[in-house]
Structure 1
Amino acid sequence: MTARILALLAASSALALSPAHAADKDASEKPAAAPYEANSASKRFSGTFGGRSVSYTATVSEQVLKDDKGTAKAAIVTTAYVAEPRDPNRPVTFLFNGGPGSGSLWLQMGAFGPKRVAIPSDARDDGGPPYPILDNPDSLLDVTDLVFIDPVGTGWSHTIGDTDPKDYWGVTQDAKSVAQVIRQWLSENGRWNSPKYLGGESYGTTRSAAVVNELEGGYNDVSLNGVILISTVLDFAAGAETEGAELGYITTLPSFAATALFHGKASAPSVEQFVEEARQFAIGPYAAFLLKGQKASANERAAIRGELARFTGLSEAYLESADLRVTSGRFYKELLRDRGQTVGRLDSRYTGKDYDNAGEYPDNDPSFYGIDGGYTAAANAYMRDTIGYKTERQYVTIGGVSDWDWRLNGGRDSDAYLSVAPYLGRALRENSGMRIYVGQGWYDFATPFFAAEYALSRTGFPQDRIEFHYYDAGHMMYVRDEDRAKLSRDIRAFIRSR
């Protein structure tokens, strides 16, 4: 009996020390992961903006987003410029770019930050480094503090641990995370009662509308004084170029006209007059013709073809072969084919040279490869070396996201008919103190100005609180020196007039 008990005890001891049990013991005693430590850098500067001398602190920092259990899920990098001494009643403006998947370097280093990169102002390629990084007297720091936000997958922003970045890649998911960053920044900096503005460029205007919905769509509101929309895209059907969709041909025609006039393929006293003529033709005779489809008469077709040729600078023979429906991509290639050049998508003032002169579409967009090198170099040099932000991560300029979820709030809407414009209409109706500024370039095909006008003139938008401003450049109008100064003056006046 004693021998049997001793054997059982020995077996029990061996079992307790078996690899499986040892692993269980190690797992149970494994220490919890250390709390995530946010990276940041800060430095004091001074400068003259809008004619006023301002002392300010520049801070590049990670805003850590946590779940309900307090687990760190993502680190979103913000670059904040705050005037000193700090004033809790001073306006603060939150800004971001678009993509989706673009960092905020464009607005920061091109338009509103205290420093800017100097690239050619006359639609020429930016060439090679070094690129001058200059004081920016057009920064808005004289009238508002500035917080630039890089959503997950852009800039240096990233997920933490095993968090899937796709959790943040969607219209609604992205808006929720940006709204959370804004709330945290307001709390950490004591700015809940400050006048607040939200500003975005390109898809950043889509994001602005979705973020407004997250900030003001419930009862735990962050009320805004204004929304700044630069190169606006709110209703994606307004610019859709798919078979059977006619609206896109209407909304891009005034941009065709502006571009044809700029390159000497049309004649008119001014771009303002010519695009107004194109607007009226597009929304009137051309829209009626498109709606009739194959039921339009031969005489009506001939009249439309002649006017399209006048506005677009394209031959009637080419227009007829395109069934009087010319897509933007074909226009970029065809307008200057006789010169062996293409025109840009982001800014059709820019021209490019393709491998050959055949084909329907350009090899690339000369208005993007004409500026990207300078902005990327300047953003890294300024934030790393001047402000002192240290990281081994590479700054994602654009293209850092994939498989974007275009559905709104998990619904069935997709980019086939996605419109976030109603979010802004509701916010205007429910917040009498909110206004909208819209800035559009004549030569922008990524977000045509007539499509923005269409989206914001629908039922439910108080028109007296929406103001439009136009610029003699394209999608990023601030690359042109005169328009950067005008943009700054216009937005400065918008903020001051609250």
Structure 2
Amino acid sequence: MKNCFTLLLLISTTILFSQKRQLPIDTMVITQHNTTIKGVSFSYTATTGTQPVWGENNEPIATLYYTYYERDNIKDKPRRPLIISFNGGPGSASVWMHIAYTGPKILNIDEEGYPIQPYGIKNNPHSILDVADIVYVNPVNTAYSRMIEDKEGKLPKRETFFGINADIKYLAEWINTFVTRKNRWESPKYIIGESYGGTRVMGLAKELQNSQWMYLNGVIMVSPADYKLYNTLQPVYSALNLPYFTAAAWYQKVLSPELQQKDLLDILPEVEEYTINTVMPAIAKGGFISENEKQDVAEKMSYYSGLSKKSILQHNLDVPTSFFWKELLRDETGQIIGRLDSRYLGIDKREAGSSPDYNPEMTTWNHAFTPAINYYIREHLNFKTDLKYNMFGPVNPWDRQNDNTRENLRQAMAQNPYLKVLIQSGYYDGATTYFAAKYTMWQVDPSGKMKDRFTFKGYRSGHMMYLRKEDLKSANDDIREFIKNSSSQGRAAKYEKN
């Protein structure tokens, strides 16, 4: 009996140590659901699982976890738009827009977007699933997506995935496989990317078109991070932060009574004009600006930002956003304001310092999103695994060299008369500011010949504007309108003489 027990123990131990915590490379789970959107009830199918990334020798080198929603009983599937959704980071899972913006379920949060317990999810009455099918894609090392070992037990080289151009190349290949498997080649196609996803989808527009022969109807950038802008490290671009400073200061009620009594949208146009026509040229002059001009600009910047003239002069007009988050309420309440959403407040160890200890909005979001997505995937989508869901995955170092994504978007638009662009930004976003997004939009096409194909929408919230109930509705409606205006059904793809 003792020998039998020992044998069983050895077998169990051998099985235990031979196992690895990993996902199947190619698998899916299908579930059926019902929802009500815009007052109309309908059923939909959710498919979640993994799909391989194929290497040069047609072997799997990674597998991406995805979730795909299709409205049931659609008679004319070729006319049904397909939305391919990414978040950013780089290194972020698709969780944010998946269970808080466009998908059929959203977080349990209050009307302003703050989490409430018990954590969980509820139906999203504003989801765009009524007008389009959606797939949420998780790049390598995010969510459950992982690299795959070869026959010798070696992982692919990191540079295959973790860089601006590598990311675009393998994701375009993956999208081709997905569209082929799901038989969606005839459908109008859209790609949407939040934050770094903005850089990603600008590049994907051309890569899909030129390398995969897949032409898009629309590119949607949500709070886009344009790395072409951020990687220049030119002080002159810090001027673009001023309109955001105004918005955050207005929300926190620290502007002068003259400005505070006005509506935000009545103030921002004059600040934007002052930024482009005065602040940018002033900062460009550097140390050779005249003392009188420097004093005048600092005083006006103080008026528009809620910061002291002295602190602006001490920064030579080039005020870092991190200093703004620390400084704005320092003398009033001693609190910091959020980076991604400056409506949020936090508490530092010391009031002194030049930057906050942490981002209060990010910690708030993490402790609401993390339990919700883990619960939702297991209990609603019926996908079970012991692998950890990476809200943010290990993707660094990230290769930022040779960033031509802005030009890639321009070329894709020039070559494809159908292609239109929607940009959505929150006024209180201090990480990827709304005015920097406008600036990117202006710079994509310096000729101005395609400017009527760009649409910008701003919202009274932060980086994830959809967390606020009013903006959840309006932002989804703006996507619906964009899809309608870019459908191009029955219209020839050609340019006419001006």
Are 2:108 and 1:118 aligned? yes
Partner-residue secondary structure (3-state), 2:57: coil
Are 2:184 and 1:191 aligned? yes
Q: Residue type of the partner of 2:366?
A: D
Which residue in 1 is equivalent to 2:125?
A: 137
Partner-residue secondary structure (3-state), 2:187: coil
Partner-residue secondary structure (3-state), 1:155: coil
Q: Residue type of the partner of 2:395?
A: V
Are 2:372 and 1:378 aligned? yes
Are 2:350 and 1:361 aligned? no
Which residue in 1 is equivalent to 2:408?
A: 423
Q: Residue type of the partner of 1:206?
A: T
Are 2:240 and 1:257 aligned? no
Offset at 1:460?
4.4
Which residue in 1 is equivalent to 2:459?
A: 471
Aligned pairs for 1:235-254 within 5 A: 235-237=227-229, 239=230, 242=233, 245-254=234-243
Are 2:165 and 1:172 aligned? yes
Aligned pairs for 1:254-403 within 5 A: 254-266=243-255, 267-268=259-260, 269-338=262-331, 339-403=333-397
Which residue in 2 is equivalent to 1:231?
A: 223
**Unaligned 5+ runs, structure 1:** 1-34, 408-412
Larger Rg: 1
Are 2:34 and 1:46 aligned? yes
Offset at 1:302?
1.6
Are 2:213 and 1:221 aligned? yes
Give me the TM-score of the superposition, normalised by structure 2: 0.87
Contact 2:86 2:192 in 1 (8 A): yes
Partner-residue secondary structure (3-state), 2:298: helix
Q: Residue type of the partner of 2:425?
A: Q
Offset at 1:217?
2.5
Contact 2:24 2:50 in 1 (8 A): no
Partner-residue secondary structure (3-state), 1:355: coil
Q: Residue type of the partner of 1:78?
A: Y
Aligned pairs for 1:55-70 within 5 A: 55-70=43-58
Partner-residue secondary structure (3-state), 1:197: strand
Contact 1:123 1:349 in 2 (8 A): no
Are 2:123 and 1:154 aligned? no
Structure 1: distance between partners of 2:227 and 2:384: 39
Structure 2: distance between partners of 1:209 and 1:324: 31
Contact 1:158 1:165 in 2 (8 A): no
Partner-residue secondary structure (3-state), 1:180: helix
Structure 2: distance between partners of 1:293 and 1:271: 31
Structure 2: distance between partners of 1:131 and 1:419: 41
**Unaligned 5+ runs, structure 2:** 1-22, 488-498
Offset at 1:88?
3.2
Partner-residue secondary structure (3-state), 1:491: helix
Partner-residue secondary structure (3-state), 1:221: coil
Identity %: 34
Structure 1: distance between partners of 2:352 and 2:155: 47
Offset at 1:441?
0.5
**Counterparts in 2 of 1:322 and 1:36: CA distance versus 1, 3 Å:** closer
Structure 2: distance between partners of 1:299 and 1:406: 40
Structure 1: distance between partners of 2:457 and 2:57: 46
Structure 1: distance between partners of 2:175 and 2:164: 17
Structure 2: distance between partners of 1:123 and 1:94: 25
Contact 1:235 1:421 in 2 (8 A): no
Offset at 1:123?
5.9
Are 2:478 and 1:490 aligned? yes
Q: Residue type of the partner of 2:308?
A: S
Structure 1: distance between partners of 2:307 and 2:202: 37
Offset at 1:36?
6.5
Structure 2: distance between partners of 1:261 and 1:37: 50
